[in-house]
Amino acid sequence: MLPTLVLASSSPWRREILDKLGLPYRTKHPEIDETALANESAAVLVSRLAEEKARAVGRSFPDALVIGSDQVAVLDDQIIGKPGTHDRATEQLKAASGRSVTFLTGLCLLNTRTGHCQVDTVPYQVHFRPLDDDLIEGYLQHEQPYNCAGSFRSEGSGIVLFERLEGDDPNTLVGLPLIRLVRMLEAEGVRPF
């Protein structure tokens, strides 16, 4: 019998990605403080938060495999958060124009029965084409990606902003590195379908 699979997230995008595996699962929103620690690198931050999310949700599921994930975008060694506003999204896209942004996604699979915890950080590069003001404004009016790190949705119209994408798993860019997750699940005896 399969252990209960729990996604420690309320993200509809992460649920959509996890649905691809054809495994039954539950979701629960993790209640954690996502503030970065002093001098914490982006890679350490996302790994720590992914594990904290899994452990927070895992307390409610004593015999489960809990998936935690967290993501940040990085430009010039600075974390780019969710813009929240049109003006901030405009600033972010202007800064990314003609440049590369690295997305780092922390992934954790916690077996709450055994305490075994697998944690990894998966990178993905987005190379932006040069963006003029009209393209930025038109895109933001169309998509309104104000709750998305980096001010775009690659699974939507954001693709028009890119020169190329570089990484092992396109799901990573949306927030759940599925190729790596499958390996983690298999290490716990769970296979898709």
Catalytic machinery residues: 70
Quick check: 140 and 134 in contact, CB under 8 A? no
What is the DSSP pairing of strand 4-7 with strand 64-75? parallel
* Plot region of 21 (φ>0 → left; ψ -120 to 50 → alpha; else → beta): alpha
- Three-state secondary-structure class, residue 72: strand
- Residue 171: closest CA among 102, 110, 127, 105: 105
Structure tokens at 109: 């699979």
Site of tokens 């998936």: 67
User: What is d(CA 187, CA 33) in angstroms, rounded to the nearest whole number?
Assistant: 29
Q: Which amino acid is at 59?
A: R
User: What is d(CA 151, CA 146) in angstroms, rounded to the nearest whole number?
Assistant: 6
